[in-house]
Chain A
Amino acid sequence: MRAYQDMVFTTAARLLGNDAQAEDIAQEVFLRAYAHFGQLRNSPTSGGWLKTVATNLALNHLQRYRRRWRLFSEISSGDDARDPEPPAQDSPLAELGAQQQQALLEDAIRTLPADQRTALVLYHFEELTYQEISGRLGASLAKIKTDIRRARMALLPLLQSRIER
């Protein structure tokens, strides 16, 4: 468990953007792993199994609570969710150390709107395609592409500061 707990927790936390819920999901993942302990104990794919279960449980958790809001979310995304403003040029981020920048990037992912964060994490961390994300989240392909693009634009200031270094 100790070998995988950071990976499982990180997977859930990045998708959910909430540490307390991520801990709940991680607990459930390890309880399920215990139920399959005989199969997983010597399996070389146990890490992948844990990551997949963590991803699925986190997505189920998100969808369970968001289903009722999806319709309005799709309606409001047309005009409310504008592209973020361009980053400020005098950002002090470049003066921060690498660890602090990584912490800022992690924090920026956490504070993204949930739709954008989930799509971004599935694309960049879980390496799913746009079509796969669309299928998993039950959203249109255009919405997924827009969400990911907006999330990238929101993180752009942090990337610029990394390059400035």
Chain B
Amino acid sequence: MNQTDDADQELARRLDRALHELPLRHAPPTLESRVFGELARRVALPWWRQSFACWPGYARTLFFAICVALNGMVFAGGAWIVAGAGSMPAWHQASAVAAAAAALSGSMVRAIPPAWFYEGAAVAAVLYALLFALGATAYRTLWVDLRELP
């Protein structure tokens, strides 16, 4: 065990020395032009297409004011709908339909034997495991190619 550790440490030292002797790689000659091109493109963008931090002060203030106003309108509209819906006939009909659906589903659940639930859960678990195994197999089959992806 000690010999293995010593060999590993020796390999690490040798590799460390060799790697630190490696010269820097040359950046592609296109890098500089790409950077300056992108900078020029960003500078040429109108202010509303730049990041929010670059917007003029008046535009940011106006944006905040519009957001606050929209929020207020949404809350006020929601409150108005809830308050007004109680007096509408359609609201009562919808409530009655929902209550009937809840009662029907409740009675159906009570009518199903409990064993069916356990069997359903077991089938779901088996299907999940099967799907997981398929995914793992696909990954392991394709991994040789995928490992070179970023």
Contacts and interface: CB of A to CB of B under 8 A. Distances in A.
Interface in A21-53: 21, 23, 26-27, 30-31, 34
Interface string A93-113: 000000000100110000001
B119 interface: no
B140, B147, B148, B150: residue with the most chain A Cβ atoms closer than 10 Å: B150
Contacts of B147: 113-115
B24 A6 contact: yes
B30 A21 contact: no
Nearest to A13: B25
Interface stretch (B32-40, B63-71, B84-92, B101-109): B32-40
A75 interface: yes
B150 A31 contact: no
A10 B25 contact: yes
Given A31-B35, A69-B146, A72-B139, A6 B22 contact: no
A129 B16 CA distance: 14
A102 B25 CA distance: 11
B77 interface: no
A76 B137 CA distance: 10
A133 B11 CA distance: 19
Nearest to A159: B14
Contact of B11 (A8, A105, A156, A162): A156
Contacts, number: 99
A5 interface: yes
A123 to B, nearest CB: 8
A159 B32 contact: no
A7 interface: yes
Contact of B18 (A8, A21, A105): A105
Interface in B110-144: 135-136, 139-140, 143
B11 A65 contact: no
A162 B16 CA distance: 13
Contact of A80 (B21, B32, B39, B143): B143
A30 B35 contact: yes
B149 A65 contact: yes
A155 B15 contact: yes
Q: Which 10 A-B pairs have the closest CB atoms?
A: A9-B27, A72-B139, A5-B27, A6-B24, A10-B25, A30-B35, A10-B24, A65-B150, A124-B19, A113-B147
Interface of B: 8, 11-12, 14-16, 18-28, 30-32, 34-35, 38-39, 42, 135-136, 139-140, 143, 146-150
25 contacts: A5-B27, A7-B24, A9-B26, A9-B31, A23-B31, A26-B31, A27-B35, A27-B38, A30-B31, A31-B35, A34-B35, A34-B39, A65-B150, A66-B150, A72-B136, A75-B136, A76-B139, A76-B143, A102-B21, A105-B19, A105-B22, A106-B25, A124-B16, A152-B11, A159-B11
